[in-house]
Amino acid sequence: MVNQSLPLDTVFHALADPTRRAVISRLLKSPAPVTRLAEPFEMGLPAFLKHLAVLESSGLIHSEKRGRVRTCHINGERLAAAEGWLAEQRAVWAGRTDRLAAFAESQHSQEQEE
């Protein structure tokens, strides 16, 4: 059906869920084991593991297992990939192709909005 090979597809899809975004926010602070990560959420572990699988297959996180505990880490570069696409689009919106100018633009308008 959909060609899920495109990295942006999987990254944006991974971000389209509050549980997964919360996991990312948490992991940005420091790596953490699975059960620690799962604590704040109401769902069972199997459901939570599916979210982790989505995050991992999108490349937003990776994990390694030592003993019986699997520790998850963030992959900041993938976040940057998504941000980069959006920044490019906003650059077009601002009527420019120069990416640095676009960043300055987004920065500026964001300050005004707050």
The contact set with DNA (CB under 7 A) reads 1-2, 4, 13, 16-17, 19, 33-36, 42-47, 49-51, 54, 65-71
User: CB of residue 53 vs DNA: minimum separation in angstroms?
Assistant: 8
* SS3 of the chain: helix, strand, coil, percent, to 5: 65, 10, 25
Q: Are 61 and 75 in contact (CB under 8 A)?
A: yes
The DSSP symbol for 114 reads -
Residue 90 makes contact with its own copies by CB under 8 A: yes
Q: CB under 5 to 8 A by kind: which of its own copies, DNA, none does 21 bind?
A: its own copies
